[in-house]
């Protein structure tokens, strides 16, 4: 591939060090000493920070150093000679360590000569193999040396060094704080010998400590601080340019004052100011000093701010980039496309392109595409000739003629079309199923369309969600996407052993209704449903012959099950185990599949549901493969939706209506509970209530009241449930696991129950009461957040308020949880991203260090496991016995 020729070089390593003043001068192409930027004609002043020698960014002007146009000139550094040295704020911490560990007079490390020798030998030994330990050892030496208060070499007494962030140092001489000037600090650092520095963890060749106190400041080229010309013709300079001008201005004043022999007070003031400007030039968010501001009051964005944080160079520009060949739009559902497919709007298909090499076999087809051009679908946007020249078809008049010039070897960048493979993504990308490969189906309108079964892995709904789409551009990328990332390959989640793609909502309601015992079809409807599934085979023998041929839902479902499949399980609608009569279950909850025929039981969440392991669906994926599973989801599952359309499925206010007599019964239950609670309160007030172990009397009372009220709600719910049977659509949804719960229904039909904050009855608000509607110290259920009403009847004002309190707590909890788990995930992902499972089964870091000798200690891939176990012996036994007709 011509792309990788010659220019490929191997990076052997990276070394970080400090620039010496000599080095800075050597790199520099211009000495900068004038705070002015431009002369009267608007031309850059030589010696100013916009000096032409630093490279130019104005079009049409050539660089005064390298002679290149702005596009090719890389920019060149200049330098400023500082009138007095200043501390580089990023290194103040290290300066502090060095000052404390070395002698203030002779510069030697504050340890006995024999000890220094011993440590040096140890350091050398460590340096050979354990570089990390070397630095730990250096830290120990630093600590020890800092505690010595008299130099072992020259006997000079050592004072305590106080470091005031970000760059001020004091020496505590006999209880008096004396400020150390940068010049003095620099001299002390200069005196430290190279050999002693090595013991302190420094590499004197690349980082002499006196270089941390700047005498010369590099001036970055204008290429990284471009000025912008406003519409008014005024020039607006970059924050860094402003900062450099500030430094130059103070530097000039400082030099003039020194030369004029100004009093030390004035010189020191200016020196401090220079230090401030240099410090904020590097980092404008240093603790302890006010940030430098723009005239408008906005803090300047200086070097550190460019790198730090989410929008900074690392996280914003390098780790996260904007990409080509991608699209984003709103998503909407389409139950009629396959789970592997994605509907792409035609307008997007005309912009996203796939490079296709012209061959003798596709040349006619490619010619057609070129003839259609960029605006007519399916067409092409560019042609790349073998010599590398790109032809933009937007500007070609004679497309017909161009199409004829097409020869094998040309590349046609054609529109996206049906059958292309693309990556589809919904943020937040929390697991690998957040990016899956789909096969394109170009459709009208403006939204991406996806099959409802893939909502679960993407965690998508259609209340305005948007998703991203990416078109792989190389053959390798396409092959990988197709074989590793295709939706059907992601049915089993690696989080636990089980399918993450499976029936939800209406698929479950539909499956239940369809597979119920009393669901039968005549030839017409049976054919109609099978046609919707795309079934082309024969109808099985009808289960009912008189009064005419009728097929059961179970029969039709069996058409799609693998012929040799055996399965035994329990449906969601089945009563709790022990109360179920298996084949004779009253709810038909015993799912029995023998030789690919559904004999008893209904399909609901426990058979086909998403995120449910050990189900019929899980069995199919594991035993018959992802292709079979996909086929079933694209055929059988579609029937469930179609049948739900045929059958009609709805819910209204009357769905949760219960008779007048039941309402009376519920009122009685609640009245009884209220009386009991009042009795408890009376006992408490008269002091008769005995506290429970570990609880105060008041806590005991609350506990008992909560228990009694919970019991009342349960009883009320049971009464309501009596009138909400399996013919009720809301109940079907709750019992089959499609949506909602019986609790939701009883809250609608009977009573809402106790509202709570942090698991307790509501007690805050006003003095000794929750709302001014109640008396103080009223402990009755009504005054403490018990809601007697139901959603159907509607809530009283006070009840509504309590309900809102409880609801708000839920919202806050969710918000806090997502923020916390989001940050935790980020840290985990950053820490673990380079780990891999090696061919010997061990988990290793990118350097080859072993983290686990076997992946997960057992070497089992959870996606292929049986609910985390490598084999499920019970299941195998059950299956063998079932096959032999035993139990």
Partner 1 sequence: MPKKINVLNHVLVPQHIVLSREDAIKILKKMGIKKKELPWILASDPAARAVGAKPGDVIMIIRESPTAGKSITFRYVMPG
Number of residues that bind Zn ion (CB under 5 A): 16
Exposed e or buried b per residue across 306-325, where buried means at least 16 C-beta atoms within 10 angstroms of its C-beta: beeeeeeeeeeeeeeeeeeb
Closer CB to Mg ion, 465 or 809, in the complex: 465
Q: How far apart are CA 91 and CA 648, in angstroms?
A: 74
Cα 344 to chain centroid distance, Å, stands at 25
Q: How many CB atoms lie within 10 A of CB 338?
A: 20
Q: How far apart are CA 744 and CA 730, in angstroms?
A: 10
State the binding partner of 461 from partner 1, Zn ion, Mg ion, none, CB within 5 to 8 A by kind. Mg ion
Q: Which helix (H) or strand (E) holds 527?
A: helix 523-532
Stretch that binds Zn ion, among 105-113, 458-466, 551-559, 766-774 (CB under 5 A): 105-113
CB of 433 to partner 1, least distance (A): 22
Alpha carbon separation from 506 to 490, 503, 838, 856 (Å, rounded): 22, 8, 43, 37
State the binding partner of 646 from Mg ion, partner 1, Zn ion, none, CB within 5 to 8 A by kind. none
Decide if residue 445 touches partner 1 (CB under 8 A). Answer: no
Decide if residue 461 touches Mg ion (CB under 5 A). Answer: yes
Stretch that binds partner 1, among 21-29, 30-38, 797-805, 840-848 (CB under 8 A): 840-848
Closer CB to partner 1, 133 or 177, in the complex: 133
Q: Which of residues 152-211 bind Zn ion (CB under 5 A)?
A: 153-154, 156
Stretch that binds Mg ion, among 203-211, 461-469, 617-625, 806-814 (CB under 5 A): 461-469
Stretch that binds Mg ion, among 7-15, 445-453, 456-464, 616-624 (CB under 5 A): 456-464
Q: What are phi and psi of 714, to 5 degrees?
A: -60, -45
Q: Name which position in 48, 50, 51, 65 contacts Zn ion (CB under 5 A).
A: 65
Question: What SS3 class is residue 314?
Answer: helix
Stretch that binds partner 1, among 85-93, 464-472, 817-825, 841-849 (CB under 8 A): 841-849
Decide if residue 463 touches Mg ion (CB under 5 A). Answer: yes
Closer CB to Zn ion, 156 or 402, in the complex: 156
Q: Name which position in 858, 874, 881, 883 contacts partner 1 (CB under 8 A).
A: 858
Q: Which of 413, 401, 500 is nearest to 457 (CA)?
A: 500
Stretch that binds partner 1, among 126-134, 394-402, 564-572, 669-677 (CB under 8 A): 126-134
Decide if residue 465 touches Mg ion (CB under 5 A). Answer: yes
State the binding partner of 849 from Zn ion, Mg ion, partner 1, none, CB within 5 to 8 A by kind. partner 1
Stretch that binds partner 1, among 460-468, 471-479, 486-494, 852-860 (CB under 8 A): 852-860
- Both tokens of 652, joined, read 């209204």
End-to-end CA distance of the chain: 64
- Give the 3-state DSSP-derived string for 570-632, with helices as H, strands as E and coil as C: ECCCCCCCCCCCHHHCCCCCEEEEECCEEEECCCCHHHHECCCCCCHHHHHHHHHHHHHHHHH
State the binding partner of 133 from Zn ion, partner 1, Mg ion, none, CB within 5 to 8 A by kind. partner 1
Q: How far apart are CA 334 and CA 20, in angstroms?
A: 66
Residue number with the shortest CB distance to Zn ion?
585
Q: Which of residues 868-887 bind partner 1 (CB under 8 A)?
A: 868
Stretch that binds Zn ion, among 2-10, 70-78, 250-258, 469-477 (CB under 5 A): 70-78
CB of 332 to Mg ion, least distance (A): 12
Beta bridge partners of 654: none
CB of 153 to Zn ion, least distance (A): 4
Q: Are strands 590-594 and 567-570 parallel, antiparallel or unpaired?
A: antiparallel
Stretch that binds partner 1, among 305-313, 573-581, 800-808, 857-865 (CB under 8 A): 857-865
Q: How far apart are CA 195 and CA 255, in angstroms?
A: 36
Q: Which helix (H) or strand (E) holds 78?
A: strand 78-87
CB of 856 to partner 1, least distance (A): 5
Stretch that binds partner 1, among 88-96, 128-136, 194-202, 789-797 (CB under 8 A): 128-136
Q: How far apart are CA 3 and CA 17, in angstroms?
A: 34
Encoded one letter per residue, x for contact with Zn ion by CB under 5 A and - for no contact, window 547-586 reads ---------------------------x-----x----x-
Closer CB to partner 1, 458 or 855, in the complex: 855
Q: How many CB atoms lie within 10 A of CB 30?
A: 20
State the binding partner of 120 from Mg ion, Zn ion, partner 1, none, CB within 5 to 8 A by kind. none
CB of 723 to Zn ion, least distance (A): 22
CB of 840 to partner 1, least distance (A): 6
Exposed e or buried b per residue across 156-195, where buried means at least 16 C-beta atoms within 10 angstroms of its C-beta: eebbebebeebbbbbbeeeeeeeebebebbbebbebbeee
Asked if residue 51 lies in contact with residue 30, where contact means CB atoms within 8 angstroms, the answer is yes
Q: Which of 832, 235, 740, 290 is nearest to 508 (CA)?
A: 740
Q: Name which position in 231, 234, 840, 886 contacts partner 1 (CB under 8 A).
A: 840
State the binding partner of 574 from Zn ion, Mg ion, partner 1, none, CB within 5 to 8 A by kind. Zn ion
Asked if residue 377 lies in contact with residue 350, where contact means CB atoms within 8 angstroms, the answer is yes
Q: Name which position in 252, 326, 635, 852 contacts partner 1 (CB under 8 A).
A: 852
Decide if residue 854 touches partner 1 (CB under 8 A). Answer: yes
Decide if residue 55 touches Zn ion (CB under 5 A). Answer: yes
Decide if residue 853 touches partner 1 (CB under 8 A). Answer: yes
Which distant-in-sequence residues (6+ apart) come within 8 Å of 697 by Cβ? 684, 689, 691
Decide if residue 645 touches Mg ion (CB under 5 A). Answer: no
Exposed e or buried b per residue across 41-63, where buried means at least 16 C-beta atoms within 10 angstroms of its C-beta: eeebeebbbbbbbbbbbeeeebb
Q: Name which position in 120, 856, 875, 878 contacts partner 1 (CB under 8 A).
A: 856
Q: How many CB atoms lie within 10 A of CB 330?
A: 13
Q: How far apart are CA 239 and CA 218, in angstroms?
A: 16
In order, the DSSP letters of 804-829 are: HHHHHHHHHHHHHHHHHHHHHHHHHH
Q: Name which position in 29, 50, 63, 557 contacts Zn ion (CB under 5 A).
A: 63
Q: Which of residues 130-159 bind partner 1 (CB under 8 A)?
A: 130, 133, 136
Q: How far apart are CA 370 and CA 360, in angstroms?
A: 16
Decide if residue 589 touches Zn ion (CB under 5 A). Answer: yes
Closer CB to partner 1, 132 or 228, in the complex: 132
Decide if residue 466 touches Mg ion (CB under 5 A). Answer: no
Stretch that binds partner 1, among 481-489, 557-565, 621-629, 850-858 (CB under 8 A): 850-858
Q: Name which position in 30, 54, 73, 467 contacts Zn ion (CB under 5 A).
A: 73
Q: Taken in order 528, 529, 533, 536, is the CA torsion positive or negative?
A: negative
Asked if residue 226 lies in contact with residue 238, where contact means CB atoms within 8 angstroms, the answer is yes
Q: Which of 585, 612, 610 is nearest to 599 (CA)?
A: 585
Number of residues that bind partner 1 (CB under 8 A): 19
CA atoms within 13 A on the CB side of 73: 26
Q: Which residues bind partner 1 (CB under 8 A)?
A: 126, 130, 133, 136, 840, 842, 844, 848-854, 856-858, 860, 868
Q: Which residues bind Zn ion (CB under 5 A)?
A: 55, 63, 65-66, 73, 103, 105-106, 151, 153-154, 156, 574, 580, 585, 589
Q: Which residues bind Mg ion (CB under 5 A)?
A: 461, 463, 465
């Amino acid at each position: 591939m011509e792309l990788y020729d010659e220019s490929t070089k191997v990076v052997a390593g990276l070394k970080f060090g400090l620039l010496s003043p000599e080095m800075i001068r050597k790199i520099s192409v211009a000495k900068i000493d004038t705070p002015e930027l431009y002369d009267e004609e608007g031309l850059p002043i030589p010696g100013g920070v916009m000096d032409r020698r630093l490279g130019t960014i104005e079009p049409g002007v050539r660089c005064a150093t390298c002679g290149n146009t702005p596009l090719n000139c890389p920019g060149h550094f200049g330098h400023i000679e500082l009138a007095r040295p200043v501390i580089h704020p990023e290194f103040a911490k290290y300066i502090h360590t060095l000052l404390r560990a070395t002698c203030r007079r002779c510069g030697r490390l504050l340890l006995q000569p024999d000890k220094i020798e011993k440590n040096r030998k140890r350091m050398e030994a460590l340096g050979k193999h354990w570089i990390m330990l070397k630095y730990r050892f250096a830290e120990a030496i630093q600590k020890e040396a800092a505690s010595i208060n008299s130099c072992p070499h020259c006997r000079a007494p050592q004072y305590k060094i106080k470091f005031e962030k970000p760059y001020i140092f004091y020496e505590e001489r006999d209880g008096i704080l004396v400020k150390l000037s940068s010049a003095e600090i620099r001299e002390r650092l200069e005196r430290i010998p190279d050999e002693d520095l090595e013991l302190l963890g420094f590499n004197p060749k690349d980082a002499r400590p006196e270089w941390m106190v700047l005498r010369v400041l590099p001036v970055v080229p204008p290429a990284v601080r471009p000025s912008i010309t406003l519409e008014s013709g005024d020039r607006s300079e970059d924050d860094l340019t402003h900062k450099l001008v500030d430094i130059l201005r103070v530097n000039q004043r400082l030099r003039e004052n020194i030369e004029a022999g100004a009093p030390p007070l004035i010189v020191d003031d200016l020196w401090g100011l220079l230090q401030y400007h240099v410090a904020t030039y590097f980092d404008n968010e240093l603790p302890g000093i006010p940030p430098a501001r723009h005239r408008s009051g906005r803090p300047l964005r200086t070097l550190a701010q460019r790198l730090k944080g989410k929008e900074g160079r690392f996280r914003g520009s390098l780790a996260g980039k904007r990409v080509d060949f991608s699209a984003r739009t709103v998503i909407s559902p389409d139950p009629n496309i396959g789970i592997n497919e994605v509907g792409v709007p035609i307008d997007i298909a005309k912009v996203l392109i796939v490079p296709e090499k012209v061959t003798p076999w596709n040349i006619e087809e490619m010619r057609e595409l070129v003839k259609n051009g960029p605006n007519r679908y399916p067409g092409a946007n560019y042609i790349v000739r073998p010599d590398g020249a790109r032809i933009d078809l937007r500007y070609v008049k004679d497309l017909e003629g161009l199409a004829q010039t097409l020869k094998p070897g040309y590349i046609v960048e054609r529109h996206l079309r049906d059958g292309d493979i693309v990556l589809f993504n919904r943020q937040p990308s929390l697991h690998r199923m957040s990016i899956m490969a789909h096969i394109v189906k170009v459709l009208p309108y403006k939204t991406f369309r996806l099959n409802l079964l893939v909502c679960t892995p993407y965690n998508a709904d259609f209340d305005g969600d948007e998703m991203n789409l990416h078109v792989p551009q190389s053959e390798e990328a396409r092959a990988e996407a197709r074989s590793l990332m295709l939706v059907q390959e992601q049915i089993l989640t690696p989080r636990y052993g089980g399918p993450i793609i499976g029936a939800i909502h209406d698929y479950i309601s539909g499956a239940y209704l369809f597979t119920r015992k009393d669901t039968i079809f005549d030839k017409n409807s049976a054919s109609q449903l099978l046609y919707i599934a795309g079934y082309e085979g024969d109808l099985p023998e009808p289960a009912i012959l008189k009064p005419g041929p009728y097929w059961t839902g179970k029969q039709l479902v069996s058409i799609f099950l693998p012929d040799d499949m055996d399965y035994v399980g329990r449906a969601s609608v089945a009563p709790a185990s022990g109360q179920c009569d298996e084949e004779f279950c009253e709810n038909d909850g015993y799912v029995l599949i023998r030789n690919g025929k559904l004999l008893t039981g209904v399909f609901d969440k426990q058979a086909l549901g998403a995120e449910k392991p050990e189900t019929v669906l899980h069995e199919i994926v594991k035993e018959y493969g992802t292709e079979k599973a996909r086929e079933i989801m694209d055929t059988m599952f579609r029937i469930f939706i179609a049948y739900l359309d045929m059958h009609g499925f709805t819910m209204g206010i009357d769905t949760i209506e219960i008779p007048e007599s039941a309402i009376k019964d519920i009122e009685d239950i609640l009245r009884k509970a209220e009386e009991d609670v009042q009795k408890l309160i009376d006992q408490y007030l008269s002091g008769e209530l005995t506290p429970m172990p570990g609880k105060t009397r008041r806590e005991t009372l609350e506990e008992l009241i909560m228990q009694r009220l919970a019991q009342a709600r349960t009883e009320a719910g049971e009464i309501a449930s009596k009138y909400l049977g399996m013919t009720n659509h809301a109940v079907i949804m709750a019992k089959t696991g499609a949506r909602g719960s019986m609790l939701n229904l009883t809250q609608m039909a009977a009573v809402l129950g106790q509202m709570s904050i942090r698991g307790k009855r509501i007690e805050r608000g006003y003095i000794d009461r929750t709302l001014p509607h109640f008396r103080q110290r009223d402990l009755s259920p009504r005054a403490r957040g018990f809601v007697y009403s139901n959603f159907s009847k509607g809530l009283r004002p006070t009840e509504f308020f309590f309900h809102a309190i409880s609801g708000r707590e839920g919202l806050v909890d969710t918000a806090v949880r997502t923020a916390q788990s989001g940050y935790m995930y980020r840290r985990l992902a950053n820490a673990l991203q380079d780990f891999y499972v090696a061919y010997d089964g061990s988990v290793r870091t990118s350097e080859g260090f072993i983290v686990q000798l076997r992946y997960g200690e057992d070497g089992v891939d959870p996606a292929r496991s049986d609910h985390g176990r490598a084999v499920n012996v019970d299941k195998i036994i059950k299956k063998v016995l079932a096959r032999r007709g035993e139990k």
